Amino acid sequence: MATARLKRNFNTGSTMHEIADTVNDYTRLFEETMHSSGAHATETLRHHRYSALKRFRALGFPERGDEAWKYTNVQSILQQRFNPAPATVPVPPELTAIEALAEHRLVFVNGIYSPALSTPPQQIPGLKVTSLFNYLQQNTPDIASAHGNDISNGFQALNGAFVSGGCVIELEAGIRLDGSLELLFFTGDNTLALMSNPRNLILLGEASQCTLIERYIGLPQARYLDNPVNQIQLAQGAQLTHVRIKQPSNRGFYIGHSTAKLAAHSRYAQYGYTFGGLLSRDDSHIEFSGPGASAEMRGLALLSERQHADTHIRIDHHATDCTSRQSFRNIVDQHSRAVFTGRVVIHHGAQRSDASQACHALLLSRQAEADSRPQLEIYADNVKCAHGATTGYLDQDALFYLCSRGIPHAQAEQLLIEAFAKEQLGAVAEIPMLSVYLERLMTRNRH
Amino acid sequence: MLSIENLHGGIEDKGILHGIDLAIEAGTVHAIMGPNGSGKSTLAHILAGHPGYTVTAGRIRYDGSDLLALSVEERARAGLFLAFQYPLEIPGVSNINLLKTALNARRRAQGEEELDALEFIELVESRMALVNMEQELLYRSVNEGFSGGEKKRNEVLQMAVLEPRLAILDETDSGLDIDALKTVAEGVNQLRSPERAFLLITHYQRLLEYIRPDHVHILHGGRIVRSGDYTLAIELEKHGYSAIEAEFQHGQHHA
């Protein structure tokens, strides 16, 4: 374990009293909205929501002393009350300016699907995209369990109770999609403090393959809570490239939760990019259920001001011969703070597991802070595991080298920062529109 | 072009240079030779403005202005170039990006327009021919995974693209095989011009066989103890530094 702490008052956490008040307020809100949102509240959905509320009341919110939330204090979220968005929301002008990163795009405004803004894929053989509510009407899937006992924290439960929509992407066995699918979540209102609770199911059949771009953009200056949940299932030999771009507003909160269940020989690659946001927390839970599967988790956070981003990964090696790779980079400027926790659990019998995790943080100011916690738990005897973490400032010798070529100091710093960030593009560099977009965000000048 | 007067300095509070006097005219090639620890690299780093080195006394005039008052990048944009003894690897910054950024920074500072992509590529390609460098190296990260010879050639390429007025080559010959040494020397020779001066820092006379200097200086104990023409380098090669040291200590003893 490597932890770099420079200077920060100790996390004060939230009191039980505050948590109980907040939970009660959301319970009241739940009862009110359950009555008013009767339109698409089918029996199944109603059942899911009630059971999620029950979990929510039992779990509450992460409190002081909760190890998984050690460096992230959610008190600022609890001090506010967020409302589900009204069903009819005017399209914010900011939204129309956001370019699409893929030919097919589903747009959600405040967590609610917007058919007018979307260009869903049509008649692509083997691909089925359904709204979550329609899907739940037609299916009683085992994924319903995610509304019950699989829920590990209060935010996930809150999502279940207030679920605002989402989509279900099903890819049939053997289908390989060319190009990418984009899910764009735009959240925020100039007057109301809104919460968005989308839930997406990504179900890939045997040996199918696709690239999914999931993007969260906040209305600048808006106060809101983005609280999405993803459930991903990869059947044997399936391959998913999952790009996740988070651009919360400077007053916006993002709390995301993704689980991925990986069958034998499937491959999951997640590329996560966080740009700004008052407070963001992203949990990913990967489970290897069959042998020979692999997961590559890459991430980058670019923070300044008083922004805070927390990435929390848990990877469970339940099967033999699986490979997990984690590579994260955090760039923190001014008073910002980045937290990385990567936990790998190699369960009994998961022989020949191969796990590595690396987190590198670049501090751009003396007040910025980066915490890296690579964690390994190993219950099998024939495994290969490695972890490493570094935290440091810009390389002064490299700066001197660049300046000695006549490059102004600020520009030399910028070059080095971009270089550090762009290493995290990985295979995404091969996706034309997307890589251009990300590079532009990475080259945004400081201050 | 460059005049160094009574320069004292070193790393942090460790004094290494104890009174250097040196004048370099445009169009000339000067060589500074000396044993390890004599202060050769310290002098190069002070000229380039490395923040880890301090000047405690003396002054350096460059084109009539106070060189020590200029920042690292200002010195470079005024035409000073240091070819590093140990060129840095900079992962993620491509060689071509470095060249382009540096060249355009200099052009902007001189009130010239930036080169467009085509003009730039043509310039770089013509300069690459000088140092016989593989095109592929342009698109790799700066010096990352380069061989010793490739790194040194890359330094000379940067020099050829940036066209400095005063080029300081800090042990550019170290770690080079004879073919690479010839290539690098040829590259330097083609850049010689009446407006440009060179300061070659080297241990060995070998480099000077290929780049014939006008003046040779021997640095010892942080001072220039002897200056002469090319024959001084030959003498040094024949008798070694120890003879010079003995002579110097002897001379000092009697002073």
pLDDT digits (tens, 9 = 90+) for A397-414: 999 999 999 999 999 999
Which among A400, A411, A420 has CB closest to B101?
Answer: A411
A419 closest CB neighbour out of B71, B77, B92: B92
Q: Do B93 and A396 touch (CB under 8 A)?
A: no
Q: How far is CA B20 from CA A447, B38, B39, B95, B218, in A?
A: 43, 12, 10, 35, 11
Q: Tokens representing B49? A: 């403005």
Sign, CA torsion A55/A56/A59/A62: positive
How many beta carbons lie within 10 A of that of residue A51, not counting itself? 19
Instruction: Specify the higher pLDDT residue, A430 or B102.
Output: B102
Crossing angle between the packed helical segments A16-36 and A43-59, to the nearest 10 degrees: 170
How many of the other CB atoms lie within 10 Å of CB of A40?
13
Whole-angstrom distance, CA of residue A362 vs CA of residue B95: 22
Q: State how far residue A401 is from chain B, nearest Cα, in angstroms.
A: 7
B107-157 per-position pLDDT tens digit = 998 899 999 989 999 999 999 988 888 888 999 999 999 988 899 999 999
pLDDT at position A226 over 90: yes
What pLDDT was estimated at residue A142?
A: 55
Residue A327 with chain B: CB contacts under 8 Å: none
Q: What is the pLDDT of residue B30?
A: 96
Residues of A in contact with B158 (CB under 8 A): 405
Q: Give percent of chain A with pLDDT exceeding 90.
A: 73
Is B71 in contact with A403 (Cβ distance < 8 A)? yes
Q: What is the mean pLDDT of residues B75-97?
A: 94
The whole-number average pLDDT for the span A350-368 is: 96
Give chain B's radius of gyration (CA, Å): 18
Question: Does the beta-carbon distance from A405 to B50 stay under 8 Å?
Answer: no
Closest Cβ opposite residue A404 in set B48, B52, B92: B48
pLDDT of residue A12: 52
pLDDT band at A382 (very low <50, low <70, confident <90, very high): very high
**pLDDT value, residue A152:** 83
CA A217 – CA A108 distance, rounded (Å): 10
- Residues from B contacting A (CB-CB < 8 Å) are 48-52, 71-73, 75-77, 81-82, 84, 87-88, 90-93, 97-98, 101-102, 105-106, 109, 141, 158, 162
The single residue listed with the structure tokens 């004292």 is: B8
Closest approach of chain A CAs to the CA of B51, in angstroms? Answer: 8
Give how far A14 is from chain B: nearest CA, Å. Answer: 42
pLDDT given for residue A3 in this prediction: 42
Average pLDDT of span B38-67: 94
Write out the two tokens for B25: 């005219």
Cβ-defined contact of A415 to B101 (cutoff 8 Å): yes
* Helix, strand or coil, per DSSP, at residue A100: coil
Contacts of B77 in chain A (CB under 8 A): 406
Q: Which residue of B has its CA nearest to A425?
A: B92
Please tell me whether residue B128 adopts helix, strand or coil conformation: helix
Q: In chain B, whose CA is at the least distance from the CA of A400? A: B50
- Could B105 and A398 be called an inter-chain contact, meaning their C-beta atoms sit closer than 8 Å? no
pLDDT average, residue stretch A412-436: 91
Question: Which of B77, B101, B158 is the best residue to mutate to test the A interface, defined by the most A CB atoms within 10 Å of its own CB?
Answer: B101
pLDDT at residue A254 tops 60:
yes
More confident residue, A94 or B45: B45
pLDDT value of position A239: 98
pLDDT per position as a tens digit, A15-24: 777 889 999 9
Strand partners, A284: A258, A313
Other C-beta atoms within 10 Å of B144: how many? Answer: 15
Rounded average pLDDT over A361-383: 95
Are A196 and A224 in contact by the 8 Å Cβ rule? The answer is yes
pLDDT in tens, A154-163: 999 999 999 9
State how far residue B100 is from chain A, nearest Cα, in angstroms. Answer: 10
Residues of A in contact with B84 (CB under 8 A): 401
> Which token pair is B3?
């005049």
- Alpha carbon A438 to its chain centroid, in Å, reads 16
From chain B, the residues in CB contact with A418 under 8 A are 92-93
Q: Do strands A369-378 and A337-346 pair parallel, antiparallel, or not at all (unpaired)?
A: parallel
Amino acid sitting at position A125? P
Q: What is the mean pLDDT of chain B?
A: 90
Q: How far is CA B211 from CA B39, B230, B231, B235, in A?
A: 22, 10, 14, 17
HSE-CB at A307 with a 13 A cutoff on CA atoms is: 26
Q: How far apart are CA A234 and CA A34, in angstroms?
A: 33
Arithmetic mean of pLDDT, B35-54: 92
Distance CA B241, CA B35 (A): 7
Amino acid occupying residue B121: I
Whether residues A411 and B71 touch (CB distance < 8 A) is answered with: no
Yes or no, beta carbons of B76 and A422 under 8 Å apart: no
B242-252 tens-digit pLDDT: 777 776 665 55
- Per-residue pLDDT at A1: 38
- Band of the pLDDT at B255, cuts 50, 70, 90? very low
Residues of A in contact with B52 (CB under 8 A): 396
Chain A contact residues (CB < 8 Å to B): 396-398, 400-409, 411-412, 415-416, 418-420, 422-423
The Cα of A182 is separated from the nearest Cα of chain B by a number of Å equal to 28
Closest by Cα among A274, A270, A209 to A238: A209
Q: Which residues, in sequence order, are bridge partners of residue A341?
A: A312, A373
Q: Find chain A residues with C-beta within 8 A of B53's C-beta.
A: none
Q: Which of A395, A403, A413 should one mutate to test binding to chain B, selecting the residue with the greatest count of B CBs within 10 A?
A: A403
Residue B52's CB is within 10 A of a number of other CB atoms, namely: 10
Question: Nearest CB to A419: which of B50, B81, B91?
Answer: B91
Residue from A352, A432, A343, A340 nearest A384 by CA: A352
